[in-house]
Structures are given as C-alpha cells and as structure tokens.
Amino acid sequence: MGKFHLLANVAVALASPYLRFRDTVQCPIIFDGRVPHNFSTTAFDLADVSPYSTQYVKGENLTWSQIILLPNASSSRFDTLGVHRPLEVTINDHSLFRAGQRLQTGFRRAGLLLKNDKNAAGADAADQGVVTFHWSVKQDASKPLNLSHEYMNVWHEKADYSGNQFTFVGGVVLPADGGTGVDTPEEKNTWRIQDSKNKFLFCTPILGDAWQNFAVQLDYTNNTIQIFYSPGNKPLKDVTGQIPNDNAGGGQLQLGIAKKPTETDTVVWDGYQEPMPLGEGQVYAGVFVEDSSDGCISM
Ligand SMILES: *[C@@H]1O[C@H](CO)[C@@H](O)[C@H](O)[C@H]1NC(C)=O
Ligand SMILES: *[C@@H]1O[C@H](CO)[C@@H](O)[C@H](O)[C@H]1NC(C)=O
Ligand SMILES: *[C@@H]1O[C@H](CO)[C@@H](O)[C@H](O)[C@H]1NC(C)=O
Ligand SMILES: *[C@@H]1O[C@H](CO)[C@@H](O)[C@H](O)[C@H]1NC(C)=O
Ligand SMILES: *[C@@H]1O[C@H](CO)[C@@H](O)[C@H](O)[C@H]1NC(C)=O
C-alpha cells in the first residue's frame, strides 16, 4: 500500500503540456532501452552503440538493421520529445532458428535483450529488490499481427529457462499456455499479462492506433507482482494490487515478437504458419527498467 504515492503528484504535474519535454522517468534507471532520436537502423548492429544485444535473439542470417524499423510514430508517454523515438520489431518468413542442424519451423521470432541484462540468477540489479519493467506498444496498420495466433511479445525468463516470472501475450493464447485456443474476436483482440504459473492477472483490448503503456513490478524479497497500465498518454494506474508470485530464478527481460503456430503440439517443431509476404511488426517505445526499492515508480 502507498508504494507509488510518492510520485503520483509528479505524474499529474507531468500530464501538463508545458512539462511534456521533461523526462517522465522519475526513478533510478537500471536498463534504458529507449532509442536515441538520431539513431539509424544500422546502430542496432553496433555493439558499443545499441542499447540492446547485437547477437540475440534473431533468425539465422539476419542482422538487426534488417529487423528493426524506425517508424514515424508519435512519442510514447515515457519518451522525452526530441530525445527518444519508437522502434518497430518485425518478423517474416525468414525469422527462423536452428537447433543443431534442425530448423525450428513452428514459431517466428525476433527478440531484443537489454545489453547488460545478464542471464544468471541474481546477476544484475533487475533481479533483486523491487524492480519495475516498463514498455509501451502501438500497432502498425501496414504490418498487422495475425491475432488468430498467440504472440508472446514481452516476458522475464528465468535463467534456467524453466519458466517466466511474467509474460505479456496477445491474440488467441494456446491451451498449453493457459488460453482457450478458440479463435473468437474477443480472444483475438486482447493483451494479457500472466503470472509465473501462466494465470491471467490482467487483460485489456488491443487498441488499433493508440499507445498502450504497461509496467510490471516484481518484488523479489516478498515474492509479489503488481501490474500498471494506461492507454495513450495517461498516467499509469495500478490495475491489480500486489499479488503473490514466484519471482525466483533471475534471468532476462525478452521483448519483441514471438509468433506461435496454430494447430500445434510442440510450438517449436510443428503447427501452422501462413506465409507473411509483407511481414508483421510491433512498435515499441518507453522500454526501461527502474529500481523501485525505495517505493519509487514512474507513472
Ligand atoms: C546522436 O547525438 C549524440 C549527441 O546528442 C551524439 O553523441 C551521437 O554521436 C549521435 N549519434 C548519431 C548516430 O548521429
Ligand atoms: C541461411 O543461409 C544458409 C546459407 O546460405 C542457408 O543454407 C539457410 O537455409 C539460411 N537459413 C534460412 C532460415 O533461410
Ligand atoms: C519517416 O520520415 C522520414 C522523413 O519524412 C522519411 O525519410 C522516412 O522514410 C520515414 N520512415 C518511415 C519508416 O516511414
Ligand atoms: C491468420 O492465421 C490463421 C491461422 O493460422 C490463418 O488461417 C489465416 O489465413 C491467417 N490470416 C492471414 C490474413 O494471413
Ligand atoms: C515486504 O514484507 C515486509 C515484511 O513482511 C514488509 O514489512 C514490507 O512492507 C513488504 N514490502 C512491500 C513492498 O510490501
């Protein structure tokens, strides 16, 4: 209770258009995935420049400058005007991975990892204390997702890959991941956030042309999760309160597009994927991880 009241007033003040140039991020930043305004796509291939890993997680034979687009979308709530810009992660028929010799034909994926986010339990500041993970999404009408599929687009994966502390999914969620697998308009047009056991804690409709801002706070000491959300440029709102969650296992924030197949048993090796001649994209902005140990959260 009262964890974020400290900054509630600041957030209200920042809603004023006169203060829009100020950074809406008010807490110590652990990892900043926001893209500098003057970046070109080739910057994502340069390890000393990109805020993200230049190696992982992309299809074989692809470079990040082939995967990332820099759309002319408006700034999101947690970008500073003239300082940051949105990026778009894309997938197409070449977004494929190989295990040994064998091509993994079930899913299509392009996933960003924050550059210094280490994959070991408790190895970095985002795996201890109280941490808030922020991201905003927007849809690209020229590269729409096919929401008959499950899209697992953001998650924090345990270092031993045995599960995720939380998962952000859109579209028709497969039964193996806790969904119905039934292709109805309601199932399709929904974002959901799942806990460590894949239980849905929060859902909200996918908006066609507005930013949607999400934040997930993990308290590693007390083993709780708390979700915050706002549409457009509105301040974030607590939408769940603190809920018990298994936050053990450390790991990494994964962010991008992971499009799962339909009619699948294994997700990795089998199932249906329609051809994607134009590719699909997910626009992101305001990606950052902040230290909330002293009760601070950017709203
Ligand atoms: C972007 O601007 C910063 C200073 O604001 C500068 O240091 C950097 O070299 C620029 N990057 C590119 C790719 O132009
Ligand atoms: C990557 O390139 C190699 C060599 O040209 C080719 O054999 C392989 O099929 C390509 N992989 C994909 C997923 O297209
Ligand atoms: C964004 O706008 C600039 C300048 O108008 C243009 O050169 C660029 O191609 C546009 N980018 C996209 C992805 O549409
Ligand atoms: C969307 O996915 C479903 C299930 O794979 C497929 O039947 C349908 O043809 C796809 N739609 C488009 C527009 O590709
Ligand atoms: C975590 O639990 C401790 C001990 O039960 C309690 O004093 C503290 O307020 C809790 N922290 C939060 C953020 O709820």
Q: How far apart are CA 153 and CA 283, in angstroms?
A: 11
Q: What is the mean pLDDT of the chain?
A: 92
- Cα(94) to centroid(ligand 2), Å: 9
Q: Would you state the pLDDT for residue 19?
A: 43
Q: Delimit the domains of the chain by residue range.
A: 29-291
pTM of the model: 0.91
- Please indicate whether residue 9, judged by its CB atom, sits closer than 6 Å to ligand 5: no
Q: In Å, how far are 160, 211, 283 from 77, measured between CA atoms?
A: 34, 8, 14
pLDDT score recorded for residue 3: 33
Alpha carbon of 38 to ligand 1 centroid (Å): 6
Q: Which ligand does the CA of 88 lie closest to?
A: 3
Which helix (DSSP H) or strand (DSSP E) does residue 133 occupy? Answer: strand 130-139
Going by alpha carbons, the residue nearest to atom 5 of ligand 3 is 72
Indicate the helix (H) or strand (E) that contains 245. Answer: none
**pLDDT tens-digit profile of 22-77?**
678 989 999 999 999 999 999 999 999 999 999 999 999 999 999 999 999 889 99
265 touches ligand 4 (CB under 6 Å): no
- Give residue-wise pLDDT tens across range 183-217: 999 999 999 999 999 999 999 999 999 999 999 99
Is the CB–ligand 3 distance for residue 71 below 6 Å? yes
| Alpha carbons 168 and 155: distance in angstroms, whole number | 6
Q: Which fold has domain 29-291?
A: Jelly Rolls (2.60.120)
Question: What is the chain's alpha carbon radius of gyration, rounded to the nearest angstrom?
Answer: 18
Atom of ligand 3 nearest to the CA of 88: 13
